[in-house]
Amino acid sequence: MMLMEETAVPLAALPLAEFKAHLRLGTGFSDGDVQDPVLESFLRAALAAIEGRTAKVLLEREFSWVMNSWRDPEGQALPVAPVSEIVSLTLRNRDDEAEVIAPALYRLERDAHRPMLRPAGRVLPSIDSGGVAEIVFRAGYGAGWGNLPSDLAQAVLMLAAHYYEYRHEIGLSGGCMPFGVSSLIERYRTVRLLGGGVR
């Protein structure tokens, strides 16, 4: 299985002004935007870290997910949430010949933690031996910062500030996340069963 981000979070969607206010950086100076690229990188890093910990996509974008077989042909859980749309479902055989599946043959079952690709009938179209299914979908709470739940938005700002404050520190242990951030995102974390597989 391979999940790929097809579209990136646009700069305009990042809360640079809110982050500057959170850091209490001065404003009104002629070179006030000199740190913007650095602040942007910390915001993107914080977004990625929180998305990785929660399996939630914060700002809307498009993904493609390639898999060799269905875990359950009666419905396949998607790897992230929330999902707003299944853009396409394509089956490829071992010769990379593609068959685009008609949207009438499947549907999206929305869920805050575990959205599902469901068949319109009894089972999803079968994947040939040596072939793959590619699901393209749109996920995220919304296109703008204001669409995020307030606790997740606060967690991003806090974690980005943590990265900013400790940007020269190399002695922190791997995977370090401040307690305040962990407590804010805890209720969004998905419990995974069956040896870590999505179900």
Residue 39 within a domain = no
Rounded Cα distance, 58 and 155, in Å? 11
Report the pLDDT averaged over residues 1-16. Answer: 93
pLDDT score at 198: 45
The residue that leads in pLDDT, 188 or 175, is: 188
Half-sphere exposure of 128 (CA within 13 A, CB side): 12
Residue 21 within a domain = no
pLDDT digits (tens, 9 = 90+) for 16-33: 999 999 998 755 444 556
Report the pLDDT averaged over residues 134-150. Answer: 97
pLDDT score at 133: 98
pLDDT digits (tens, 9 = 90+) for 42-93: 999 999 999 999 999 999 999 999 999 999 999 999 999 999 999 999 999 9
Q: Which two tokens stand for residue 97?
A: 């010949």
Range of the domain at 115: 61-139
Residue 97 within a domain = yes
Residue 120 within a domain = yes
Residue 158 within a domain = no
Helix-helix angle 16-23:150-165, to 10 degrees: 60
Q: Which two tokens stand for residue 67?
A: 């898999």
**85 Cβ contact partners less than 8 Å away, ≥ 6 residues apart:** 108, 137, 138
Predicted TM-score (pTM) of the model is: 0.85
Residue 127 within a domain = yes
Q: Which two tokens stand for residue 21?
A: 């206010």
Residue 66 within a domain = yes
- For the chain, the domain total comes to 1
User: Given pLDDT bands bounded at 50, 70 and 90, which one contains residue 171?
Assistant: low
